[in-house]
Structure 1
Amino acid sequence: MAKRGYHHGNLRQALVDGALELIEEKGPTGFTLSEAAKRAGVTPAAVYRHFEGREDLIAECALQGHMIFGDLMEYAYSTGGPSALSAFEATGRAYLAFARKYPGHYMAMFESGVSLHASAELASAVKRSKAVLETAAAALSENIPVEKRPPAAMFSAHIWAMSHGVVELFARGTPGANTPFPPEDLLETGIGIYLRGLGLVAPDA
């Protein structure tokens, strides 16, 4: 691959962009700093002007991913529809859309093993994106008596896990390659079954 170089002195972002490409191609643990430097068109020594090492570079990829992800989740929730259920389901669709459009970011965020507390900025970005789903979950449970109401953090985490599972099993590679059902349909029906089981939505909703 020809060296792309970097413009206006933005070496830091050029390294992030190169790392994201490598993560998508080889996974978050399958590349070296030297390869990232080569993608940016600089020497390996230049990397250390901006990052302490590969984990620090991946953490920056994860941070940028969480910032994009948080924007998408907030937008999906605010425009998802007139009901708490439709808004909640919109966040699930946004999760799948993000994983498809930003695979390098997604893997850096959820599959690299990078500490969510690698920096205060990363921890804040993670908290923000999680808060969207917890807010949506809390809105769904408002009509349930407090003593019977499941913790929003608990069932929003379950939905997050379900979304991640659909991405990993059915939304990677060629769409529909592993299932006759669209990933969005799988997630939506799964969310519906789960929420009805908790009594968060009526059986005929």
Structure 2
Amino acid sequence: MAEDLTQLLRRSARGEPGADQALWSAVHEQLRAMARQRLAGESSPQCDPTELVHEAFLKLDSLALTPKNRSHFLALAARAMRQVLIDQARSRRRDKRGGGQAPLTLLTRDLSDSAAQPVDVLDIEQALTELEALDARKARAIELSYFGGLTDEEAAEVLEVSTATLKRDLRTARAWLATALT
């Protein structure tokens, strides 16, 4: 599948007829699974997985980026989903009638962790921006894992590190974020 997706990305980049539709068909379910996982922890999601995928895909398409391979594409998709969620949260915050709405929140990936405290996504965005200035790889690990819903193995592949290194980065980043968000 990874090789097929890489070939589809190349065909799409060359502008071959039908390549964009074939690419969309190939990645749609995987992106929906990423979006479902990302939205599963929301107390009251403001969009459904299909809407998040479509918004992210439109954002990617408008940027006219050329992903090099499957991993690069998944990283770009994770970034686009993050941006869509941030844009939605900012829009709700600006909405004068939205004062009573529940904030968009992020929880730990393990939804069985009942001790996890919900945090406003805009606070997470600010903290991630600060973390990125200190350690870009750890910030990307959080972005891929939590916003993109990638598994540890997929995120490690995107970042070109071992799974063990990714897990250490995630532990350190979560600890840093916990401190920054309190």
TM-score, normalised with respect to structure 1: 0.35
1 or 2 for the larger relative contact order (CA 8 Å, sep ≥6)? Answer: 2
Larger radius of gyration: 1
